[in-house]
Amino acid sequence: MKKVLVLLIALTPALLFAQGWKSKTLITLGDRNITAGEFMEVYEKNNVKSEVIDKKSVDDYLDMYINFKLKVTEAENLKMDTLPKFVKEYEGYRKQLAKPYFTNDAVTEQLVEEAYERMQWDVNASHILIKCDVHAVPADTLKAYNKALELRKRIMNGEDFGDVAVEASEDPSARDIEAIPGKQRAYKGNRGNLGYFSVFDMVYPFENGAYNTKEGEVSMPVRSDFGYHIIKLNSKTPACGQIRAAHIFLIVDENDPEKTDSVVGAKAANIYKEIDKDGKNWDIIVKKYSDDKGSAQHGGMLTPFKVSQIVPEFIAEIKKLNENEFSEPVKTSYGYHIIKLVSKSGVKSLDEERENITKRVEKDMRAKVSEEVVLKRILKENKFKEYTKVKDAFIATIDSTLKEGKYVVAEGVDQNKVLFKLEKQEFKIADFVEYIKKHESAQPFMSEGSYAYQLYDEFVKETVFAYEDAHLEAKYPDFKLLVQEYHDGILLFDLMDKEVWKKAEMDTAGIKAFYESNKGDYMWGKRVKTIIVKVNNDESLPRMEQLIREDLTSDSLKAIVKNEGLKGVTIKSPYFQKGDNVDIDETEWVAGTIRVIPSTVDKSTKIVKILEVREPEPKTYREARGVITSAYQTKLENDWLESLKAKYPVTVDEKVLEKIRKNYK
């Protein structure tokens, strides 16, 4: 053991020396030094660890890197990274890049899988609500919980859930609503039944309560932002997904003797009897009888919907039907329906649904689950220490001015006292007071103490996340490198746009002069001008074979085709070089040559005619405009780079470079 320790002690300086060369300067660019390690980080990411096919040698990449750094240095010296446009774009990218550090992938994946499992099912549930403000003080919260618990006991002792909901639920939809002439129609209460729903249709705590309760059973009180819910799961059935259905609808209006429930119900039964068993006369019956005139013109088709968007009686019937079957008359609060099921989409595979589910999880209350896990991790990693006595003593000084949204600090409060620490950084009462004044609002239904603790928790979370965000570059080298790449990339784009792309676009005289000086570099090979006629109509073919032999231009041919009404004929007159077109390559390049080529895969025929053979010649400015512009941009960029090298002299330490070369051999 002693020998091993002696050997390690002896080797340590050598190991440190071996790694120390990476901190040596490789490139001096003006007054800026770039170490071997900085260069190697970028080189390895883009070549060694990259999956790119065209991987660069160290020397090739070094040239590219130096040119890149010259441009970025110029942009920074021009203060382009302080412009509002740059700052806004950069901060937007950085915010997106930082997101993964504030979510827990494992938790998110669990939530995605949980949501997908729930997507397989539609549930029908009833509830009784006892309201309780999300920020209520503990005494009020306990009172609401106990009230909900007492109602559950009554149900468990045999009372009907719906009866108890009508009597005691603080969700007004449970009870009947009487009509107010000219203002609202009468509405029959749902007795607590919320109908059908699936994942993401309800707030997450309620969804949990429903999916974690067995069919026919009643849950313990479930807390949500609305209060406490007692949930009865009425049914759990395979998910319909998106539904396409049609209906015949008959309105019930007890104020109209001809539209009372009994009259309309009997009429609906008679209409049902008129529908053919195979439904062939469905569209006729819909047009003849349905009171839904909007859908009647389209076979009664409704806009596609989910189970949570239609009354439960309608969905219950849908679940009994197969595609293209229709139901007997169904009574809802609106009237009577005869329903025809067209299709149910069901649920796609997890791979197909994953992206959509993940987005919804991130926007849903579920995101808080992942956020809380991350918060705990950050608190632990940054040695969070809270001074509870200081916090409680300060909150005890807060009076009703906080509830009024006009907080005034009590006399004698020492705002320099520390509330908590992250590593060695202290956060004081003064910081919390500043936060309160920025975020306070009137809260008439909360006690000042309850509101103060709520604001404190929010202050801690915001402060901790801001602290972590400010230290991401120091904590995660990969993040630092990635953010720097985005920073430099945005600067480079803006500067290239200014110095090269827009300059080339505006300098038309310069481009034309460049073309005149270099047009010998932009040549056509040997070419032929042709007429190609494609005929898809056998009756037109003989006439086109006759016309192609005459000395006619393509425009003349097109005019004759139009005047004579020849069908299935298209005419083109392009130039071709060797290799551009197989049919042209196989045709003799002699002016006047005609070749008829029947298709081997369809009934069409091509007729090819060589009009002219042209020897190699320079492309016109118009023909070469695209490549000339690109070449002129390259010239501008190279000239600009030479000026930057004069402005920021570049030297490379060959000894350090040789070590890098050997490192990647």
> What number is the average pLDDT over the span 215-234?
95
> What number is the average pLDDT over the span 528-555?
93
pLDDT at 46 over 90: no
Question: Running DSSP on this structure, what letter comes out for residue 256?
Answer: S
Q: Among 250-254, 302-306, 601-605, 628-632, which is the least confidently predicted range?
A: 601-605
pLDDT at 73 over 70: yes
* Pairing mode, strands 385-386 and 575-577: unpaired
How confident is the model at residue 365, as a pLDDT? 86
pLDDT at 13 over 80: no
Predicted confidence band of residue 181 (pLDDT cuts 50, 70, 90) = confident
Q: Is-contact 417 429, C-beta < 8 A?
A: yes
pLDDT at 9 over 80: no
- The DSSP bridge partners found for residue 246 are 301, 340
Host H or E run for residue 561: helix 554-564
> What number is the average pLDDT over the span 41-68?
80
Predicted confidence band of residue 342 (pLDDT cuts 50, 70, 90) = very high
Cα–Cα distance, 556 to 611 (Å, whole number): 14
445-450 own/partner pairs: CB under 8 Å, 24+ apart: 445/133, 446/133, 446/135, 446/136, 446/137, 446/403, 447/137, 447/403, 448/398, 448/399, 448/400, 448/402, 448/403, 449/137, 449/395, 449/396, 449/398, 450/135, 450/136, 450/137
pLDDT at 661 over 70: yes
Q: Is-contact 417 428, C-beta < 8 A?
A: yes
Cα–Cα distance, 556 to 569 (Å, whole number): 14
Q: Using only the alpha carbons of the chain, give its radius of gyration.
A: 39
pLDDT at 20 over 70: yes
3-class SS at 186? coil
Tens-digit pLDDT profile for residues 390-417 = 999 999 999 999 999 999 999 999 999 9
Predicted confidence band of residue 12 (pLDDT cuts 50, 70, 90) = very low
Place of tokens 């784009």: 493
How confident is the model at residue 166, as a pLDDT? 96
Domains of the chain, earliest start first: 1-77+649-665 (no CATH), 121-238 (3.10.50.40), 243-346 (3.10.50.40), 382-473 (no CATH), 524-618 (3.10.50)
How confident is the model at residue 3, as a pLDDT? 41
How confident is the model at residue 443, as a pLDDT? 87
Tens-digit pLDDT profile for residues 570-589 = 999 999 999 899 899 999 99
For residue 151 the two structure tokens come to 């109602």
Stronger pLDDT, 205 or 601, i.e. the higher one: 205
Question: Running DSSP on this structure, what letter comes out for residue 196?
Answer: E
Cα–Cα distance, 20 to 542 (Å, whole number): 84
pLDDT at 445 over 80: no
How confident is the model at residue 601, as a pLDDT? 77
> What number is the average pLDDT over the span 224-237?
95
How confident is the model at residue 575, as a pLDDT? 94
Percent of the chain with pLDDT over 90: 73
How confident is the model at residue 209, as a pLDDT? 96
Cα–Cα distance, 520 to 60 (Å, whole number): 29
| Buried/exposed code over 513-541 (b: 16+ C-beta within 10 A; e: otherwise) | ebbeeebeebebeebbbbbbbbbeeeebb
pLDDT at 264 over 90: yes
Q: Is-contact 375 103, C-beta < 8 A?
A: no
pLDDT at 331 over 80: yes
How confident is the model at residue 602, as a pLDDT? 80
Host H or E run for residue 232: strand 227-238
Average pLDDT, the chain: 90
> What number is the average pLDDT over the span 309-315?
94
For residue 374 the two structure tokens come to 């991350």
> What number is the average pLDDT over the span 377-393?
95
Cα–Cα distance, 75 to 496 (Å, whole number): 10
CB within 8 Å of 382: residues ≥ 6 apart = 422, 423, 464, 467, 468
Q: Is-contact 634 614, C-beta < 8 A?
A: no
Q: What is the pTM of this model?
A: 0.61
